[in-house]
Amino acid sequence: MASLGSVRLLKLEDSGDVFFEGDSLKPPDFRIVTLDGEQILVEVKNFHQKPGKPYRIRRKDLDELQRYAHLVSINSLKFGIYWSRWNRWSLSDSSRFKPDGPDHLILPFSDAMMANEMGRIGDRIPGTEWPIGLVVYSDPSQPRRVDADGRARFTVARVEYAVAGQGVTVPAEQHIVHRLISYGGWSEEVSTEVINDELISISFLLSPEEPPSDQQFAFHQPLSSIYSAMFNEATLDEEGEITGLRLDINPSALALLIPDDYEGETLRIWHIHLQSN
């Protein structure tokens, strides 16, 4: 949430001792003050969903969280669920849960997405033209001949970021392209340009799996998913084992990935803002 850059205050709510009278209660994980001044309590869950399985919570646990929210006079209790199998975040009001027997409630993935309020805290889906990627050019003054086995030794002359067949030269745009290449969720295709048995360039270009036929842009992952993918890469090994619990980075630095007032020269970006139904 801090990385999305659209909250006024974000603090841990469940740290420290809690003393109370009456029925049992539980502080949620975070307190947020939005840009428009509303206070929100958020309970965060990591849910590695099996296909078709909804998130499930005990009614007792939800009652304790709601009791705390009522006691501190905050009407808005949300659940921030990280659907880790899909690398997607949802922020849904606790009223969206459905009964599942006398002791439990559920929130299906589809319902969580329709009720998703991540847009309130700055999340959005960036769209760009395609393909995007890198083109590596060989140095013509150095050996670069392709042998009979299809192999070539060459010296790199320059590397160019590209969008829809155009070179990207502005550093801020290159930075965004680099992040979208690494974490945007598109599929990569590698191709080579060979002329007279000499390797001219190698292209690493990414496109959506199903490019739209009726518009100029295609969607990448939401910003929240891009930031989570960056965090996962820094804290998990190749087998998915945890190697760290936090990332030593200023979250506000990530918020500058795609500024709200961004206007590119070559890289055009469409900003898709989702609202809860």
Give per-residue pLDDT as tens, 72-128. 999 899 999 999 999 999 999 999 999 999 999 999 999 999 999 999 988 999 999
Is 19 strand, coil or helix? coil
Structure confidence at residue 253 (pLDDT): 60
What residues does CATH 3.40.1350.10 cover in the chain? 7-121
CATH class of this structure's domain 7-121 = alpha beta
Q: What are phi and psi of 190, to 5 degrees?
A: -105, 130
**At residue 67, what is the residue type?**
R
Structure tokens at 112: 């969580």
∠ CA 41-82-122, nearest 5°, is 60
Structure confidence at residue 19 (pLDDT): 87
Question: By percentage, how much of the chain surpasses pLDDT 70?
Answer: 97
Alpha carbon distance 109, 49 (integer Å): 9
For the entire predicted model, the pTM comes to: 0.86
Alpha carbon distance 43, 10 (integer Å): 13
Structure confidence at residue 251 (pLDDT): 63
* 41 Cα distance to chain centroid: 22
* 138 Cα distance to chain centroid: 34
pLDDT < 50: residue spans in the chain = none
